[in-house]
C-alpha cells in the first residue's frame, strides 16, 4: 500500500461538516480494522468464533480512503480498534498513512484501543506515527484470572507491552470491564498499580452485545455501586473533563490519577455524542446501541476513482444518526440487546 494514491485527494477541511439532525457535530470516528483477535474475552466473544471472510473486510487502502473522507468532513479524532487492531496484517502501514493527517493538523488525535499483546513489538512504531495516547484493556492483575477471562491472554506479555508503550512516550489508559464475582475484589489494587505505573483507568459496565457462552446478567455490576464502594476508601473528586463520550471522570486524591466510569446503559451521554463507528466491512453504525447502519463499502468499490458516492453515503448516514440508544440488560431479556459483538463495532 506504500505509494498508493489516495483517491478523493486530501482536500483539507473544505468538505462539509457532519452535523446530525439533533445538531451534534460528528468529530470522532472509531474504526474496527478487524473482527479477529488473539484473545477470547468471556464477555466479548464465545470460545468458537466464526470470523468474517477476508473478501468482506475492507483492505488497508479502503480503510485509509474512508478515514480520509471523514477527515475531510471534519473528523478530528480517529480511534483504531477491533477485534484486536494490532493483529491485523500490516496494520502499521495504515497507522503510518493515517499519521499524515496529524502532520497536516486536520486530525488532532489518532489513537488505538488494544489488548496489549503486540505492544512490545509495535509501541515504538505507533509513537513514531504520532500516536500519543493508547488504551490497553486489563481486566485483572492476577495472572491466572487474566488467563481465565481472556481465555488465552498472557498478563506478563501485556504488562511488558504497557511498559514498552510508556517507554516510547505514549500515555496509557487502562480499560477494565467491571465484572461481578470476577474482578470486583481488585479495583483497589488496580488503583494502586495505576499510581505506580502512572496510568489512568476506565471502568466499563458490561454491555449486552453479541451472543456469548454465558448469561451476562450474572456478571453485570452497576458502576454506581463500584463508585460508592471505592469512595469508602479513596477520595474521589469529580472532574469536569469530558471526552465527548460516555465516561464520567474523577481524580483519586490520594494518587492523583484519573478514573473514568463508562456507563453506556444510561442514556445521559447520548445528547453530547459526537461519534460514529465503522466496522471492518465498511458498515457505519451511527449509534453503538442501535441497529441502523449504512454501507460505505459498496460506494467505495463501485466508484474506484472518485469519492463522490462515498461522501454522499456518509452525509446521508449522518442525517439518520439517532437521538440515543436503547440498551436493556435485565433478567427478562436474556439475549443480547444488540446482536453484533463488540468486536465488530469495536466498543
Residues that bind ligand SF4 (CB under 6 A): 37, 39-41, 44-45, 82-84, 115, 137, 150, 343
Residue 261 CB, shortest distance to ligand SAM, in Å, is 13
What is d(CA 233, CA 37) in angstroms, rounded to the nearest whole number?
A: 36
Binding piece for ligand SAM, criterion CB under 6 A, among 49-57, 98-106, 321-329, 338-346: 338-346
Among 203, 204, 296, 314, indicate the residue that binds ligand SAM (CB under 6 A): 204
Chain CA centroid to CA 321, Å: 19
Distances (CA, A) of 44 to 208, 212, 216, 223: 9, 7, 10, 18
Rg of the chain, C-alpha, whole Å: 19
**Which residues contact residue 14 at a Cβ distance below 8 angstroms, ignoring those fewer than 6 apart?**
72
What is the Cα–Cα distance from 32 to 84, expressed in whole angstroms?
8
Residue 178 CA to residue 138 CA, distance in Å, equals 11
Q: Are strands 171-177 and 133-137 parallel, antiparallel or unpaired?
A: parallel
Nearer to ligand SAM, 20 or 113 (CB): 113
| Nearer to ligand SF4 (CB atom), residue 137 or residue 283 | 137
Q: Shortest gap between Cβ of 178 and ligand SAM (angstroms)?
A: 9
Name the strand (E) or helix (H) holding 201: strand 200-204
Answer yes or no: are the C-beta atoms of 99 and 2 closer than 8 Å. no
C-alpha cell read off for 275: 461519534
Q: Which does 45 bind (CB under 5 to 8 A by kind): ligand SAM, ligand SF4, none?
A: ligand SF4
Partner from ligand SAM, ligand SF4, none binding residue 294, C-beta < 5-8 Å depending on class: none
261 binds ligand SAM, rule: CB under 6 A: no
Nearer to ligand SF4, 275 or 341 (CB): 341
- Applying CB under 6 A, the span of 2-10, 80-88, 166-174, 228-236 interacting with ligand SAM comes to 80-88
Grid-cell match 489516495, residue found: 6
Q: How far is the CB of 269 from ligand SF4 (least distance, A)?
A: 21
Instruction: Give the nearer residue to ligand SF4 in terms of CB position, either 44 or 107.
Output: 44
Which of 78, 129, 81, 80 has the alpha carbon at shortest distance from 108? 78
Identify what 40 binds: ligand SF4, ligand SAM, none; CB under 5 to 8 Å per kind.
Answer: ligand SF4
Cβ 118 to ligand SF4 shortest distance, Å: 11
Minimum CB–partner distance for residue 181 and ligand SAM (Å) = 16
Considering the rule CB under 6 A, would residue 177 count as an interface residue with ligand SAM?
yes
Residues 105-144 interacting with ligand SAM (rule: CB under 6 A): 113-115, 137
146 lies in the binding site for ligand SAM (CB under 6 A)? no
Number of residues that bind ligand SAM (CB under 6 A): 20
Report residue 61 CA to chain centroid gap.
Answer: 21
- The answer to whether 82 contacts ligand SAM (rule: CB under 6 A) is yes
Q: Which residues contact 59 (CB under 8 A, 6 or more apart)?
A: 1
Q: Does 274 help bind ligand SAM (rule: CB under 6 A)?
A: no
The cell for 129 is: 506515527
Take residue 12 and report the three cell numbers written for it: 483539507
Three-class DSSP category at 135:
strand
Residues contributing to the site for ligand SAM (CB under 6 A)? 37, 43-44, 81-82, 84, 113-115, 137, 175, 177, 204, 206-207, 209, 342-343, 346-347
Amino acid at each position: 500500500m506504500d505509494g498508493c494514491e489516495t483517491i478523493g485527494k486530501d482536500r483539507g477541511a473544505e468538505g462539509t461538516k457532519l452535523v446530525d439532525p439533533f445538531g451534534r457535530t460528528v468529530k470522532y470516528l472509531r474504526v474496527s480494522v478487524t473482527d479477529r483477535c488473539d484473545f477470547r474475552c468471556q464477555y466479548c466473544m464465545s470460545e468458537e468464533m466464526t470470523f468474517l471472510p477476508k473478501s468482506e473486510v475492507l483492505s488497508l487502502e479502503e480503510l485509509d480512503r474512508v478515514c480520509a473522507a471523514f477527515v475531510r468532513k471534519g473528523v478530528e479524532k480517529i480511534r483504531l480498534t477491533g477485534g484486536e487492531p494490532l493483529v491485523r496484517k500490516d496494520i502499521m502501514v495504515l497507522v503510518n498513512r493515517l499519521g499524515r493527517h496529524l502532520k497536516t493538523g486536520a486530525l488532532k488525535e489518532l489513537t488505538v484501543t488494544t489488548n496489549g499483546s503486540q505492544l512490545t513489538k509495535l509501541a515504538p512504531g505507533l509513537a513514531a506515527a504520532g500516536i500519543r495516547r493508547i488504551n490497553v484493556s486489563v481486566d485483572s492483575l492476577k495472572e491466572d484470572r487474566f488467563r481465565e477471562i481472556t481465555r488465552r491472554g498472557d498478563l506478563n506479555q501485556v504488562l511488558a507491552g504497557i511498559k514498552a508503550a510508556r517507554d516510547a512516550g505514549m500515555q496509557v489508559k487502562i480499560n477494565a470491564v467491571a465484572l461481578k464475582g470476577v474482578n470486583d475484589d481488585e479495583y483497589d489494587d488496580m488503583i494502586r498499580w495505576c499510581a505506580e505505573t502512572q496510568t489512568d483507568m476506565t471502568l466499563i459496565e458490561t454491555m449486552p452485545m453479541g451472543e456469548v457462552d454465558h448469561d451476562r446478567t450474572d456478571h453485570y455490576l452497576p458502576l454506581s455501586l463500584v463508585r460508592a464502594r471505592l469512595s469508602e476508601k479513596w477520595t474521589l473528586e469529580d472532574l469536569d473533563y469530558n471526552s465527548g463520550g460516555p465516561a464520567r471522570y474523577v481524580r483519586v486524591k490520594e494518587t492523583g490519577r484519573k478514573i473514568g466510569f463508562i456507563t453506556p446503559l444510561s442514556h445521559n451521554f447520548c445528547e453530547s455524542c459526537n461519534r460514529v463507528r465503522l466496522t471492518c466491512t465498511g458498515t457505519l453504525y451511527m449509534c453503538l446501541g442501535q441497529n441502523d447502519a449504512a454501507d460505505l463499502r459498496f460506494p467505495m468499490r463501485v466508484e474506484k476513482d472518485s469519492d463522490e458516492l462515498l461522501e454522499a453515503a456518509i452525509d446521508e448516514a449522518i442525517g439518520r444518526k439517532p437521538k440515543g440508544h436503547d440498551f436493556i440488560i435485565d433478567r427478562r431479556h436474556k439475549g443480547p440487546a444488540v446482536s453484533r459483538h463488540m468486536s465488530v463495532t469495536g466498543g
